[in-house]
Chains A and B, each alone.
Chain A
Amino acid sequence: MGALPNPIDTALSELAAHYGDFEQNDRGANGYLFFAKNKVTGAGVAIKFYAGEQGEARHDEPRQLCLIKNRNVLPILDARNVSEEWGYFVTPRCVEGDLDDLIATQPSVYAALDVALGICNGVSAIHALKMLHRDLKPGNIVMHEGTPQIADFGSVRMLANGASHVTASMHSILYRPPESFATGEYTAKGDVYQIGLVLYQLLGGSLPYDADEYLTAKERKQLATLTDPVDRTLFEDAAIRARSEAGDLLQLKTLPPWAGMARRALRDMTCANPAQRCGSVADVAAVLTQLRANMANWRWDGDVAVLRSDSKTIELRPSDDGEAFYQAYQATSSDSPFRRVPGSRPGRLADVLRAI
């Protein structure tokens, strides 16, 4: 383990009586994150040390986590104060990783929609307590036994009595709702927007984390003239803000062709104008159930598009007949060979999909 603040070193020594196999993890933004194993139960845990603000707000994150009892919110097992500055809380360790890890596996359409519905459930429990999350993104949602759980509560804020907004978070500019740049305010529709972005990524939409990807050729030239890292970051942030405010952040054409039916829902969830956005997470959940009932469960398996059902499996395989051309094959049982789908011709993926 690297050099740690003294109170954390001391706390870890005390924790060693109850936990073993400590591993430090570098994903613990705004603090230090360790994985360990309970010496009695053998259960894996995550221990997060946080500094937070001074005063009453310092323990907001574990307090808020504790308030919410929902299967889609990470439960808190213990919390302790270790010094004037530092505290820690313990949660179950989620060995399946976060949604960035899941997105990298190219989940099927149903898996994507199921995860999004789980997020809606967790967010609705947060909203029911008059809190807004403000930082929903794949890195802040972990998978535990196949269930998505909202994990990071560092940005959660409580709505004042009768208020409908809080101050916008300065974290994760890519996920900031467009309206919050100008107003500095964040409403429940901001969380709806962020769920929309996460769903877009789960369905296979491209949302690069490298700011450079959002710059035009002209902007890249301008950026090259800047040497101060702060100036460069501000320049990149301004470019992302402009894209976001113009409603131009999502590139729906990067979605696989089978996600066509979800495009309208994604537009409704991520509309730059909050007045035209889905009204609440309940409305989002309703749309997601409608999509799940009407979309086919396609997924990528390498460069092959696969649709499995009880009766047959269809594969759209890259064809030799042309660049980016696909040919449809099907097998009627698990032990029967794949044969070309009768009457199908090689073509672009969208055309082959439409034909079958």
Chain B
Amino acid sequence: MRVMGVEFAASNLNYVVIELNDKNEVQIVQSNRLVLGDTRSRDSLISFQNAVSTLFNAAAPTLIGIKSKPESGAMMAGAAALKMEGIVLANSPCTVDFVSGARINKCAVEDPTLFAYLQPALKAAHAALAKRLG
């Protein structure tokens, strides 16, 4: 089973792909960052969509966990985050699980080999996997 954890931070989409193997071991198979430079340019959005589609084709996730961001209120996500989220949802090849901040905080997983900015995406992947496994 392959789970992709995603966190939107400013104009970045940080992702970590983990895999649960037959021995019930979880390993990181991919991680990186996509950037949406311009939120009001059609070409920029199509290019970002191509990058997301490339990522889904390459990673072939069976579950996606997205660290959820409020869509309203003082802490609401920015335009870039909401547009990136829309593109991810529209192109997703599998079920998407929105992981709340509280669930992320409960997840104690960390991997020192990953950059600090990728740790929330890793936690989102683990939290989505834990929920799926019950």
Contacts and interface: CB of A to CB of B under 8 A. Distances in A.
Interface stretch (A122-130, A135-143, A243-251, A321-329): A122-130
Interface residues of A, number: 28
A72 interface: yes
Contact of A285 (B11, B43, B44, B51): B51
Nearest to B60: A128
Interface residues of B, number: 23
Contacts of A123: 54
Contacts, number: 83
A124 B37 CA distance: 22
B2 to A, nearest CB: 13
A60 interface: no
B3 to A, nearest CB: 16
A281 interface: yes
Could you tell me the dominant secondary structure of chain A's interface residues?
helix
A292 interface: yes
B118 to A, nearest CB: 12
A285 B34 contact: yes
A282 interface: yes
Contact of B35 (A70, A124, A127, A293): A293
B37 A285 contact: no
Contact of B37 (A70, A120, A128, A292): A292
Interface stretch (A111-119, A171-179, A201-209): A111-119
A65 B57 CA distance: 17
A121 B54 CA distance: 5
Contact of A118 (B11, B36, B38, B50): B50
Nearest to A121: B50
Contact of B53 (A111, A121, A293, A294): A121
B43 A282 contact: no
